[in-house]
């Protein structure tokens, strides 16, 4: 593991240990390339551009070497740690690494980012960091929902007022202690959550919303990779 020897105020946990079953393919999703650059490397570059000083990248067992190679030219120090069965276990492993390493322990702000959101604009990253620095416990970038949404109710369905709905993205930002305590509490209770803000909320912390971006979409299905490849080739996505 390489890490900064100076004080490190902002650390990002980049979760990349999923199987990528909806995308398919022979290599982990985060190692898939767009414009010749692996998604995980794009994510780390965008995080660094937004103000992150070091990253802990959480990867599936047996893929550490491939991730080290993919991150060889990363603009910030990257530690690599094995993931867990569920996303929240992967995040917990990332937190452990931050706690283990003295220089990373100085981090006041910890971001958690899906490696698959490889095109997140630097402004979104900076907005999340700023909100935590200004005192928020837990921060999530959100975007309005563009589709009309129907909720299935028994055999029928009802339209939901989408003006009150927001889709949640990453990076999510936390005071380090808030994130660590939230994940400790989850581990103790066995509770399963879908994101880290929900983990903080579980402990009673308020969640602050900041503006996200459509460019922070998560590469999930083959269609997303085609869109990304096209936009990068046209210079419309960094
Ligand atoms: N992730 C993780 N550990 C897990 C599951 C997911 O680190 N046990 C990470 C993924 O690598 C991804 C992010 O969490 O960067 C968001 O998850 P998702 O987009 O669902 O990725 P996968 O779980 O890999 O994909 P799928 O659900 O299609 O299998
Ligand atoms: Mg998944």
Average pLDDT over residues 206-235: 98
- Does some domain include residue 238? no
CB of 83 sitting under 6 A from ligand 1: yes
Alpha helices in the chain (DSSP H): 39-49, 64-70, 87-100, 102-105, 122-133, 176-189, 196-202, 222-233
Tell me what pLDDT residue 36 has: 97
Ligand 1: which atom is nearest the Cα of residue 16? 11
On the question of pLDDT at 81 being above 70, the answer is: yes
CATH of the domain at 17: 3.90.550.10
- Does some domain include residue 84? yes
Least confident range from 15-29, 77-91, 97-111: namely 97-111
Q: Look at the chain and report how many structural domains it folds into.
A: 1
- Does some domain include residue 102? yes
3-state percent breakdown (helix, strand, coil) of the chain, nearest 5: 40, 25, 40
Mutate to test the pocket of ligand 1, among 25, 41, 87, 183 (most ligand atoms within 8 A of CB): 87
- Does some domain include residue 145? no
Q: How many helices (H) and strands (E) does the chain have?
A: 8, 12
Tell me what pLDDT residue 45 has: 98
- Does some domain include residue 146? no
CA dist., res. 11 & res. 34, Å (int): 25
Would you give the distance in Å from CA 65 to the centre of its chain? 21
- Close Cβ partners of 19 (under 8 Å, ≥ 6 residues apart): 28, 29, 60
- Does some domain include residue 159? no
Mean pLDDT over all residues of the chain? 93
CB of 196 sitting under 6 A from ligand 1: no
User: How would residue 8 be classed by pLDDT, with cut points 50, 70 and 90?
Assistant: low
Tell me what pLDDT residue 6 has: 45
User: How would residue 1 be classed by pLDDT, with cut points 50, 70 and 90?
Assistant: very low
- Does some domain include residue 147? no
Tell me what pLDDT residue 5 has: 40
Least Cα distance to 143 among 170, 122, 111 occurs for 170
Ligand 1: which atom is nearest the Cα of residue 29? 24
Domain that holds residue 36: 10-140+168-233
- Does some domain include residue 217? yes
CA dist., res. 92 & res. 217, Å (int): 23
pLDDT digits (tens, 9 = 90+) for 16-39: 999 999 999 999 999 999 999 999
pLDDT digits (tens, 9 = 90+) for 128-170: 999 999 999 999 999 999 999 999 999 999 999 999 999 999 9
């Amino acid at each position: 593991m390489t890490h900064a020897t100076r004080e490190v105020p902002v650390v990002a946990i980049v979760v990349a240990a999923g199987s990528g079953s909806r995308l398919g393919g022979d290599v982990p999703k985060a190692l898939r390339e767009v414009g010749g650059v692996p998604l995980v490397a794009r994510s780390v570059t965008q995080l660094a551009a937004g103000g992150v000083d070091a990253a802990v990248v959480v990867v599936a067992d047996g893929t550490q070497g491939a991730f080290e190679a993919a991150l060889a030219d990363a603009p910030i120090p990257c530690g690599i740690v094995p993931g867990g069965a569920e996303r929240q276990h992967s995040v917990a492993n990332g937190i452990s690494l931050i706690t283990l390493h003295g220089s990373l322990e100085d981090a006041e702000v910890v971001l958690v980012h899906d490696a698959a959101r490889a095109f997140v604009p630097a402004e979104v990253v900076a907005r999340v960091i700023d909100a935590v620095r200004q005192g928020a416990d837990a921060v999530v970038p959100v975007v309005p929902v563009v589709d009309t949404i129907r909720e299935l109710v028994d055999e029928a369905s009802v339209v939901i007022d989408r003006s009150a709905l927001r889709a949640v993205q990453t990076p999510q930002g936390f005071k380090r202690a808030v994130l660590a305590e939230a994940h400790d509490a989850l581990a103790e209770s066995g509770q399963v959550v879908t994101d880290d803000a929900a983990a903080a909320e579980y402990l009673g912390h308020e969640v602050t919303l900041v503006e996200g971006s459509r460019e922070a979409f998560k590469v999930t299905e083959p269609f997303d990779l085609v869109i990304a490849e096209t936009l990068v080739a046209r210079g419309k996505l960094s």
